[in-house]
Amino acid sequence: MSDPRYFYEQFADEFDSRVNVYDLQKRLGIVFGKLLKPDEVAGRTLLDVGCGTGWFSASACKWGARVTSLDVGERLLSKVAEKCKSDRIVGNILELPFRDQAFDIVVCSEVIEHTVDPPRALEELQRVLRPGGILALTTPNRLWKFAIYIANALKVRPYEGLENWTSWSSMRKNMKVFSLDIERMFGFHIVPFVSPKLYGFLDWMDHYGEKLGPVMLNMAVRVRKRNASKKVEANLSATQVRGTR
């Protein structure tokens, strides 16, 4: 069996023809619209982690960012080159080949769940983000992971990569651990059946994403990396609290 960590590299030539366009367009609109605004992106250094075939990199380039696209293999990056002019780097999200605090913005859509260690992936994302920088991330909710097994049994899902989904509560906890302040967090797709007959219903339910997020299929998060002074203040506050117990 092929290594599931590199499934999407092997799947690169098929990806754009097999992807659910509705879901892709929704995630693009969420990242470049709800999580990020044009004036925050223009002229900034932006890392697209797990860039796939380049849809998010292309959107960032259109908004005027200086984009670096990273994924696990050259085949994927060749597809990125067909969509936009970004710096293209082969690399692993668990060991990003960049110095600390290298980017103003990091985008990561439906990627951390395809690693052996999602918390480690989040730690790396915050490491390469400058203080005050923004991470825009989407990932599926572990509550719905059983849907994978149903989809695989029905042979309606073409993907065979790693699947390590994170829960809503774990995501919030990890962001706090890694000094990332949540500025916005919401869910989308109330059910995992992303079919044309349900598009209207799914879009309508997305309006309740902030309230229903913990029970929705996917989560979207905008977080800002805490600056050094805030880290010190938080540590001092924690010490003072511990000292009063």
CA pair distance 144, 142, nearest whole angstrom:
5
Length, in residues, of the chain? 245
CB 7 within 8 A of CB 15: no
Closest CA to 171 of 130, 231, 214: 214
End-to-end CA distance of the chain: give it in Å, rounded. Answer: 54
Give the pLDDT mean for 43-53: 97
What amino acid is encoded at 122 in this protein? Answer: L
In this model, does residue 32 exceed pLDDT 50?
yes
CA distance 204 to 184: 19
Q: What pLDDT was estimated at residue 8? A: 72
Tens of pLDDT, residues 55-96:
999 999 999 999 999 999 999 999 999 999 999 999 999 999
Domains and CATH numbers, the chain: 4-243 (3.40.50.150)
Note the pLDDT of residue 171. 98
The amino acid that residue 44 corresponds to is R
For residue 34, what pLDDT is reported? 98
pLDDT tens-place string over residues 92-149: 999 999 999 999 999 999 999 999 999 999 999 999 999 999 999 999 999 999 988 8
pLDDT tens-digit series, residues 206-237: 999 999 999 999 999 999 999 875 554 444 44
Q: How large is the angle between the packed helices 168-177 and 118-127, nearest 10 degrees? A: 40
Which has the closest alpha carbon to 195: 23, 28, 30? 23
Q: What is the pLDDT of residues 148-202, one digit of tens each?
A: 888 777 676 666 778 899 999 999 999 999 999 999 999 999 999 888 999 999 9
3-state secondary structure the chain: CCCHHHHHHHCHHHHHHHCCHHHHHHHHHHHECCCECHHHHCCCEEEEECCCCCHHHHHHHHCCCEEEEEECCHHHHHHHHHHCCCEEEECECCECCCCCCCEEEEEEECCHHHCCCHHHHHHHHHHCEEEEEEEEEEEEEHHHCHHHHHHHHCCCCCCCCCCCCECHHHHHHHHHHCCEEEEEEEEECCCCCCCHHHHHHHHHHHCCHHHHHHHCCEEEEEEEECCHHHHHHHHHHHHHHHHCC
Q: How sure is the predictor about 244, in pLDDT bands with cuts at 50, 70 and 90?
A: very low
Scanning the structure block, which residue is given the tokens 């979207």?
A: 220
